[in-house]
Amino acid sequence: MRELSWPARVYLVTVIALGAGVIAHSVTTLGQAVAPGRLGTEELGTLLVLALLFLVCESMPTLLNVEQFAVSVSFSAALAAVVLLGPEGTALVGFTAVLSVRPGLPLVKRLFNGAQFAICGHAAGWVYVQLGGRIGVPEVHAFDDLIGPYVAATAVFVPLNILLTLTMIRLATGVRAVEVPMRGLAQFLLSYLGYGTFGLLVAGLWATVQSISAVLVLVPLFVARWAFGQYHAQQRSYDATIAALCQAVETKDYYTRGHCTRVSAASSMIAQEIGMGQERLRAIRYAGMLHDVGKLGVPTKVLQKEGPLTEEEFAAIQLHPMRGLEIVRGIDFLDEAYAGIMHHHERHDGRGYPMGLAGDEIPEFARIIAVADAFDSMTSDRSYRGARPVEVAVQELRKNAGTQFDPVMVSAFVKALEHQPWQPPRRVEPPPPDADEAAVKDHDDPTMPIEVVSGP
Amino acid sequence: MSRAFQGLDSGQLLLICAAGLVAVAGVAHTAATGLDHPEIAVGFGALIAVGELARLTMPGNREVAPIGAAAALGYTLLLDLSQDQLRHSALQVVAVIAVGMIAGALPHLAVGRPPRLDAMARRLLTGALLAFAFRPLADPLFRLTQGPDPTWWPALAVMVVLIAVTLLVDVLIAALLRAEQVRTAFRVAVRDELNMAFPLGAAVAASGVLLALATHSMDLVALLVFAAPLLVTQVAFRKYAGIRATYLQTVRALSRVTEVGGYVEPGHSRRVSRLAVAIGRELGMAEPELLELEYAALMHDIGQLSLRDPIPGGATVLADPEQARRIAELGAEVIKQTGVLDRVADVVRRQCDPISDDPPLSSRIIKVANAYDDLVGGSTDRDRAGAALERIRLAAGSAYDPAAIEALSRVIDRLAAVHRL
């Protein structure tokens, strides 16, 4: 609260005051309704059940598709209240967000949440009534008449809720609304609309089995929430495992430690810059991580040999992308990831290996990994030279764009580097004398092409 | 698990035959008497087909079709459509499920994914079981929801109880089949199946009841809307199953880097992991432990990557104990780096410990499996296997766990029987 700017404070206080006004109004309206007996115990029971439901859902936000937002299923309960209880009841149900048991939520945030849900609920309820929606448990036959006003109420509730919250985020953190992920917005709205439908289901079934309808609707959602939680846990665990295993492959070569994770990071920077979708982004992260696993198949003595290589020895190096492919083929990635691993040493001019593909024949993933791979090699220490500064490495990439690298990928990477500074690896101390001998050549380094002597 | 057991065993054949008979009876009866309310049958049949089309494979190679199952449940439990009583018979329910499932399996077949007959048969039989139990009660239950004092509670209670019983029977059948298929104890299989079936079963059951109740106040269009909560569930489980499968594949694939690097014999890690899992099953380990055992067995030699020179032939059983211990330590370090596989790291670290140090069961199993594979390799020669077993038995009780050795010898006998065929 202390660090909030004054517009943010004004906004916060306004929303909370408005919410308090709505609540006061609702309580008096409902109170008047109770007095002459228009509001029976049944409605009060409904109010209690829905409030409880709202609270339970609000306390357990689900991480659905959009990672930046914790979407909670509480919408369904609030929107069911629109039908069953009308604007005043919905405002009260929404206000229970104050009591959310989500740990570590400061009082101000609770008040803000409660107030904004009360405002949204009341507005949605008002729209519902204006469009002729009947308040109360819907008759068994009257379900179809409900749909129109209900859709309108959802159409008010959801955007109003997003608007109120986003404004607060913007004022509090200074993040412009555009930067709050636009990409996920469609997906985001879709899931909200989905939740809206669930509210309609709860209301529609209330006449038949009362509160059990809410349980029936929410059980699949809670199971889904559980499964999403498991999925995210497995995903994190998977990422950690794959990184650890790739690093294990590198332990033998003292200087290339961490190469795979950095290539993975640089590859996904380029991929993001050229606008790849989520699925492909994930695939290229793994492809970048795994691009050199085949290197273990190259005998250590070839990697450690001083001076030029014979053709056979060079052939052994050229084989490593194929070896890598052989290892990862059993994993269900996108086919593009395989192609990226297999062709990451192809050159734009067709003089690369293993197939000698050129230009657009080279798979997109491979063109990206090639740039990331060479860049990390140049900006890391090697036994035969120190790390180059990022600027020098970028110049080198530019120089070789069109011959070794795809110019599109190089310029995408340069652009990405402008707004996302690169963290080069820490300086590597020369290995202790008892350590494994270090490789004296790096097949990834474009400034030090491997010399090959023709056969005897 | 093992490709050698791919064919269908007797239990599965029995199940498929039973399902086939029930399906034929259902279709024949319906063809003879005509469909009651064809539009509803078609609507639910279509939803079942969609569910079958969107089937997914859960960890442990279990095929499920949650949307299809919920639709089948819904159709079975249907009492009325907008207060118009429905009187379809149990056999009609069976016919609708069967036809819907076949329709949903056809596109899979068209793109070269043949159906898992045993899984389909189980789904059909579970649906049929519930239908035969519930449909006779539909009429009295419907009358309770009408009349001067309408109540839905008895109907709801009957639905919930019958679904619970059916799901339980389904779990028992699944456990029976699994126990036979992967040779694990029935008791362990029941626990595994229960753990696996519970969350999805709860979601499917709730959605099925929802579908049945929804048609009371709405018409058939609502079907689609009411499948929505389950759709979210299905998406979640598909993602979960996907990452679980990829995880296992990745560890299996990357365990081969030691072979590509020339540290161990080709196929060593896979063979050790298969043997270890078979021994673990033999000793009554449950699925979560077996998964950890498999990971540990696959990565038991990963520490060799840190060695300067490969051990000749990669056989750690022949290496001196000090070096074997160091490899185990280094491997455990690598696995610990993941930050999530601590128990697996512990199993790998203690794979060389003598029995007197009381290592975890998984470590003992890996030690036996590794020793056996180092001595025998990929060969299927019986004399060599016998000699290896004898050599391992010499150190029973000191270096190797006697129970693990006995389990190993049972597994080998079984494999030998398979090879002779």
Separation CA B57–CA B76 (nearest Å): 25
Mean pLDDT estimate for chain A: 81
For residue B414, report the phi and psi dihedrals to the nearest 5 degrees: -65, -45
Q: Closest by alpha carbon to B360, among B327, B319, B404? A: B404
| CATH of residue A339 | 1.10.3210.10
The verdict on a CB contact (< 8 Å) between A244 and B261 is no
Burial class (CB in 10 A: 0-12, 13-18, 19+), B398: exposed
The answer to whether residue A1 sits within a structural domain is no
Least confident of A288-302, B28-42, B98-112, B359-373: A288-302
Interface A-B, measured as beta-carbon pairs within 8 A, has a size of 191
Rounded percentage of chain A residues whose pLDDT exceeds 90: 22
Residues B280-291: what's their mean pLDDT? 93
Separation CA A423–CA A421 (nearest Å): 7
Separation CA B185–CA B175 (nearest Å): 9
Whether residues B197 and B125 share a domain: the answer is yes
For residue A278, report the phi and psi dihedrals to the nearest 5 degrees: -55, -50
Nearest chain B residue to A142 by CA: give it: B217
Whether residues B349 and B394 share a domain: the answer is yes
| CATH of residue B368 | 1.10.3210.10
For residue B233, report the phi and psi dihedrals to the nearest 5 degrees: -60, -45
- Domain residues for A322? 251-419
Question: Which of A153-157, A174-178, A344-348, B112-116 has the highest mean predicted lDDT (pLDDT)?
Answer: A344-348
Chain centroid to CA B81 = 37
Please check whether residue A190 touches B, CB under 8 A.
no
The helix (H) or strand (E) run that includes residue A24 is helix A6-34
Instruction: State how far the alpha carbon of A300 is from the alpha carbons of A46, A159, A324, B150, B310, in Å.
Output: 74, 61, 16, 82, 11
Burial class (CB in 10 A: 0-12, 13-18, 19+), A355: middle
The answer to whether residue A429 sits within a structural domain is no
What ipTM did this prediction achieve? Answer: 0.84
Residue identified by tokens 């409902």 is: A30
Please check whether residue B380 touches A, CB under 8 A.
no
Residues B53 and B104 sit within 8 Å (Cβ to Cβ)? yes
How many structural domains is chain A composed of? 2
Fill in the amino acid letter for B322. Answer: E
Higher pLDDT, B304 or B319: B304
The verdict on a CB contact (< 8 Å) between A143 and B217 is yes
The pLDDT value recorded for residue A371 is: 95
Please check whether residue A409 touches B, CB under 8 A.
no
Instruction: State how far the alpha carbon of A28 is from the alpha carbons of A21, A23, B99, in Å.
Output: 11, 9, 58
Token pair in block for residue B360: 């975890």
The verdict on a CB contact (< 8 Å) between B225 and A215 is no
Whether residues B150 and B81 share a domain: the answer is yes
Nearest chain A residue to B198 by CA: give it: A223
User: What DSSP string runs through B309-365?
Assistant: SPPGGG-TTTS-HHHHHHHHHHHHHHHHTTSS-HHHHHHHHTTT--GGG---HHHHH
CA A126, A128, A134, A138 torsion-angle sign: negative
The helix (H) or strand (E) run that includes residue B81 is strand B80-81
The verdict on a CB contact (< 8 Å) between B239 and A228 is yes
Best mutation target among B213, B257, B292 (most A Cβ atoms within 10 Å) is B257
Q: Is B83 left (phi over 0), alpha (psi -120 to 50) or beta?
A: left
Whether the pLDDT of residue B3 is over 50: the answer is no
- Domain residues for B312? 255-420
Whether residues A40 and A169 share a domain: the answer is yes
DSSP at A219: H
Higher pLDDT, B317 or B417: B417
Fill in the amino acid letter for B29. Answer: H
Interface of A with B in 289-318 (CB under 8 A): 293-294, 296-297, 299-300
Rounded percentage of chain A residues whose pLDDT exceeds 70: 84
Which tens digit of pLDDT belongs to each residue from B313-370?
555 566 678 888 888 998 999 899 888 899 999 999 999 888 888 999 999 999 999 9
The answer to whether residue B250 sits within a structural domain is no
Which tens digit of pLDDT belongs to each residue from A189-200?
666 766 777 788
The pLDDT value recorded for residue A177 is: 47
Strand partners, B84: B81
The answer to whether residue B230 sits within a structural domain is yes
Nearest chain B residue to A193 by CA: give it: B228
Interface of A with B in 228-247 (CB under 8 A): 228, 230-231, 234-238, 240-247
Whether residues A223 and A301 share a domain: the answer is no
Interface of B with A in 184-213 (CB under 8 A): 199-200, 202-203, 205-207, 209-210, 213
User: Which of A205, A237, A238 shows the shortest C-beta gap to B217?
Assistant: A205
The pLDDT value recorded for residue A204 is: 78
Whether residues A306 and A190 share a domain: the answer is no
Separation CA A432–CA A393 (nearest Å): 28
